[in-house]
Amino acid sequence: MLQRVFTQCMLRPGDFEPVGEGFKVVGAFNPGAAAFDDEVVLMIRVVEQPQQSRDGYEPSPRYTPQDGFAIDWLDEEDLEYYDPRVFHARSTGFKRLRFISYLKVVRSRDGKTIDSLDGPTLLPETPYEEYGIEDPRITKIGQTYYITYVAVSRHGVNTSLMSTTDFAHFKRHGIIFPPENKDVLLFPEKIAGDYMAMHRPVASIRFRPPEMWLARSPDLIHWGGHEQLLGAENTFENSRLGGGTPPVRTERGWLTLYHGSQRREGDPGPGIYSAGGLLLDLQNPKRILAQTPGAIMTPEEPFETTGFVRDVVFPTATVERDGLLYVYYGAADENTGVVGFELDALMQRFEKRADPVATA
């Protein structure tokens, strides 16, 4: 592991009041983050669960602007319970989420502690968001902050886009990657004439664990030129792998951290989530120039090992401050953390790949 200069748990569910009547907050994690004025602005995924119970049934929430928070009651006898995040219905093979997520803007002056919790709350708006909006990633392009986020509904799990210049007013641009696609990270500038994104399609006919892909766009809305970037190669990512932090320009290439999940022997539930790093060619990000040979960050602290889903560190943003890379991340699908790494020490960790192009 890479030595952490500091680790700070910034937010826990108890820091937030629920928005849904009769709901409780069970998560405040997977933050988008960006330097804005002299501060760090974070967009937190806040997660709520219904408090009501009914004998023989389990509640699965949804939200629409017309009806507000609503609950569907699922027959307990039809459900399997191996994942704390979802119910699996035996009769249909379909899933429902056990919670609902939305986004909340908070601010920090020192990048480690929260000064203000009273930023805007962004709730689901469209039928494609009725089961929640999750996992925002922020990239500044020109003077605009673009936010990719995961939107969940009966139609599947897609990635949508919104933008802002002030973190007070947000414009929604709709779906940019249809179901199922998550972990979409925008590059901060055009490359060879196109905007670029990393994305993570999830196939239902699977030959390998999910992989990271690249795509290009003339306008951030229409995406094509899809190419595979990276598949699982290390043990820590043998169950799944996906983009983590939006790429930032360094002299040696685009620096981005990604997450991998390692399955536990004989356990169908979520695995152990750790993080690794990539350096991509500045002119042609399809070329992986270097990779950390294993994970640089793995669950260690109690707020990372114990929570809604145990053993998760899930990096979602980086901000550079005084030679340190501040890495913002979700911990145990419950809390928001930040670690500081020496940027130099991180860069020394990267190893050249034998063949930068062949990743299949």
Q: By the criterion CB under 6 A, which residues form the site for ligand MAN?
A: 85-86, 97, 134, 150, 152, 157
20 vs 340 by CB, closer to ligand MAN: 20
11 vs 152 by CB, closer to ligand MAN: 152
How far apart are alpha carbons 273 and 291 in whole angstroms? 18
Smallest distance, ligand MAN to C-beta of residue 242, A: 10
58 vs 134 by CB, closer to ligand MAN: 134
Q: Which residue is nearest to ligand MAN (CB)?
A: 85
End-to-end CA distance of the chain: 26
Q: Which residues pair with 230 in a beta bridge?
A: 212
Structure token digits, residue 178: 């249809």
269 vs 293 by CB, closer to ligand MAN: 269
Smallest distance, ligand MAN to C-beta of residue 232, A: 17
165 vs 238 by CB, closer to ligand MAN: 238
83 vs 194 by CB, closer to ligand MAN: 83
Distance of CA 20 to the CA centre of its chain: 23
DSSP 1: -
Smallest distance, ligand MAN to C-beta of residue 151, A: 9
Amino acid identity, residue 347?
A: M
Smallest distance, ligand MAN to C-beta of residue 85, A: 4
H/E stretch holding 41? strand 39-50
Distance of CA 174 to the CA centre of its chain: 18
SS3 125: coil
141 vs 202 by CB, closer to ligand MAN: 202
Smallest distance, ligand MAN to C-beta of residue 157, A: 5
Smallest distance, ligand MAN to C-beta of residue 300, A: 21
In the numeric block, the tokens 């070329």 are attached to 287
How far apart are alpha carbons 94 and 86 in whole angstroms? 10
Phi, psi of 80 (to 5 degrees): -110, 150
Beta strands in 154-223 (DSSP E): 156-164, 171-177, 181-186, 195-201, 212-217
How far apart are alpha carbons 123 and 27 in whole angstroms? 15
Smallest distance, ligand MAN to C-beta of residue 95, A: 8
Cis preceding linkage at 351, omega within 30: no
In the numeric block, the tokens 């307990």 are attached to 76
